[in-house]
Amino acid sequence: MQEKLRVGLISDTHGLLRPQALDYLRGSAHIIHAGDIVDPATLEQLATLAPLTAVRGNNDRGAWANALPESVTLTLGGVAIHVIHDLKELALDPITEGVRVVIAGHSHKPACSEQGGVLYVNPGAAGRRRFKLPVSVGELLVEDGQVSVRLVTLDVP
């Protein structure tokens, strides 16, 4: 019996890392940022909470951003997770590659759906509010090879 692994999910901070997002992510075993970070200080702050994996978004520019991958596949708790900023740019076939979860941001819309045994998760945007979309983050829970997702709307002014 494996211990439950909590992976914090965040995306589209656009230079604004809200205290509510930090509070939610505290206690994560790992944090994934799905791009549009804009300010490298965001990554420094997140890395103080847990090991961090981040990808470059379309608004991430400069030497610090160029050092980030456009996409990455990692294994946490025995589950293969692929991270990319914009799902439309997904170049691999998750099923063929043995990927169980795809994390993407970009749209600012929190969403979770399963297709062909692959879980597609967008934690939404945790930075500046856009249109009437919620400010949100999420968590991926991994236990005994099983995954579940919770997306949370942050209470922000």
Instruction: Tell which residue, 6, 153, 154, 157, has the closest CA to residue 76.
Output: 6
Report the SS3 class of residue 114: strand
Q: What is the pTM of this model?
A: 0.96
The beta strands (E) that lie in 2-134 are given as 5-10, 30-33, 52-54, 71-76, 79-84, 101-104, 111-115, 118-122
Helices (H), ranges, the chain: 19-25, 40-47, 63-66, 94-97
**Residue 107 CB burial class (10 angstroms; 0-12, 13-18, ≥19):** middle
Could you list the pLDDT tens digit for every one of the 157 residues in the chain?
A: 567 999 999 999 999 999 999 999 999 999 999 999 999 999 999 999 999 999 999 999 999 999 999 999 999 999 999 999 999 999 999 999 999 999 999 999 999 999 999 999 999 999 988 888 999 999 999 999 899 999 999 998 8
Q: What is the residue range of 16's domain?
A: 5-153
Domains of the chain: total: 1
Query: Do 124 and 151 touch, CB atoms closer than 8 A?
Result: yes
CATH number, position 66: 3.60.21.10
